[in-house]
Structure 1
Amino acid sequence: MTDHSASEIATARRALPLLDLTSLNDGDDADSTAALCRRAVTPAGSVAAVCLWPQFVPQAKGLLAGSGVKVATVVNFPGGSFPAEKVAAQIAAALADGADEIDVVMNYADVYQGSGTRALEHLKACREACGPTTMKVILETGALAKPVLVERAAAIAVEAGADFLKTSTGKVPVGATPGAARILLQACKDAGLPVGFKASGGIRDVTGAAEYLALADEICGPGWASPATFRFGASGLLDALLAVLGHGKPGVAPSSGY
């Protein structure tokens, strides 16, 4: 049995309620959705949300009723290339099915190929469709790559009314990075209104979680990160956190690219 340090245990306790437990695999079905929802409520506490494909929102809502775990889904995913009318329709359908949070991929191609105007107008339409529902905007920072483009995308998302700035879909080779996280966290701090941060793509252990929490503490203040302002989008991370907290289950480590 591995002995974990006090700092590892503290990080795991802090990170678990910030987790958006995610499964966005091509082969997801009713059984995998049920398994995901079972994992969301743990002996060490519940995660913030599950994040899954839109067709599984009604099932997840039923399974998680009364648990306090939110149900998030994705739209304009993963390429960010659907027209605004289609994405608005996706959002409306997800909300009708009971989704608590919407993770929308911005038209990030317009950020590096164009002026960003189309991306802005697209996200404004998404904001209108979401109404008061939490809207997390996925910038796909790994595809944008250059800091100046990540900064531009963050500014566009904030202007459009994003509730969270999210790094990645988990569907491109580069997911969350500390460099991108620093830019997005600074944008959250400078927004002048509440904007949260979500790190997703490749965060699978307590060391990685600690790095992003330390960045949030440094940039936004030690009391800033809470489920209302900070999330991890991950799948395997939960098992790593539970292992540190003494609730490990060897052999249970689903992978979704997150």
Structure 2
Amino acid sequence: MIDLQHEARQLIAALDLTNLNDDCTPADIDALIARAATPEGAVAAICIWPRFVAQARAGLPASIRLATVVNFPAGGEDVDASVAETAQAVADGADEIDLVIAWRRVAADPGFIERQVRAVKAAAGSATLKTILETGELADPDLILSACEAALGGGTDFLKTSTGKTAVSATPEAGRILLQAIRAHGGTVGFKPSGGIKSFEDAKLYRDMATEICGEAYPTPERFRLGASGVLTDLLSVARGEGRDGAKAGY
């Protein structure tokens, strides 16, 4: 029998609790930190704008990692700017960097993506690098795979689907491509679906897929994350065995 409460707690432990709203305020960051350590266990990380990293570092428990975004959300081509943004974020206390690649360059010049990832990885130092491929905009499976291979060649620590700022975010079809690329690369790089994850069932689907493709031992918080904001409410309801109101929102 499947223990849904246990599974919900595992998903909470893999969550990058996110606020990347354009109107995010310092008070919103304090509220995010307060939500991150739940009675059912802490989330893996919070993910926020770079301008709030220093504030969050001062108030975030050491057991919860601090992630921020660079080259976000547009995915521009100025590598020097992304490197500088990364270096500042790490100096401010970021544990993890979520980089948006210049996804418009994938079709014509995947080598540019590999160089971009490698440069930001070097600037990140010991911080974890998650590479956002913007799979909903790439759309074509061959382009998504090409982006995966370029990011893996550049030394990324995670492949991440989306910014959550486009019409199409994470999809099972894109997630499968990312996971198959990770398996082909040795199965040690992490996987982060993000955007559009609105319910326990959405989150569980991706964790089950990661297990299916990369093995039972794969989806720990060190290698499997979920990028979302509103899904925590639903995960907590399932973890507590409570009724669910259906009001589920994802970033």
Partners of 1:60 and 1:199 in 2: CA distance = 23
Secondary structure of the structure 2 residue equivalent to 1:123 = helix
2:78: which partner in 1?
83
Partners of 1:250 and 1:116 in 2: CA distance = 44
The alpha carbon displacement at 1:248 in A equals 7.0
CA contact (8 A) 1:17 1:47 kept: yes
CA contact (8 A) 2:118 2:156 kept: no
Matched, 1:139 2:127: no
Alignment partner of 2:185 out of 182, 191, 195: 191
Partners of 1:248 and 1:49 in 2: CA distance = 25
AA aligned opposite 2:98: D
AA aligned opposite 1:132: S
1:9: which partner in 2?
5
Alignment partner of 2:23 out of 24, 27, 38: 27
Matched, 1:101 2:96: yes
1:161: which partner in 2?
155
Deviation string for 1:124-164 (max 9, x for gaps)?
A: 11111112210000000000001100100000000000000
Do the aligned partners of residues 28 and 250 (structure 1) sit closer, same or farther apart at CA in structure 2, a change above 3 Å counting?
A: farther
CA contact (8 A) 2:159 2:178 kept: yes
Alignment partner of 1:54 out of 47, 50, 57: 50
Moved more, 164-173 or 7-16: 7-16
Partners of 1:245 and 1:9 in 2: CA distance = 4
1:119: which partner in 2?
113
Unaligned runs of 5+ in 2: none
Aligned residues between the structures: 250
AA aligned opposite 2:185: A
AA aligned opposite 1:77: F
What is the TM-score when the length of structure 2 is the normalising length? 0.94
Partners of 2:219 and 2:150 in 1: CA distance = 23
What is the TM-score when the length of structure 1 is the normalising length? 0.92
Q: Percent identity?
A: 46
Do the aligned partners of residues 93 and 248 (structure 1) sit closer, same or farther apart at CA in structure 2, a change above 3 Å counting?
A: farther
Alignment partner of 2:65 out of 59, 70, 81: 70
Let me know the Cα RMSD of the aligned residues: 1.9
Unaligned runs of 5+ in 1: none
Partners of 1:142 and 1:16 in 2: CA distance = 25
Partners of 1:247 and 1:28 in 2: CA distance = 32
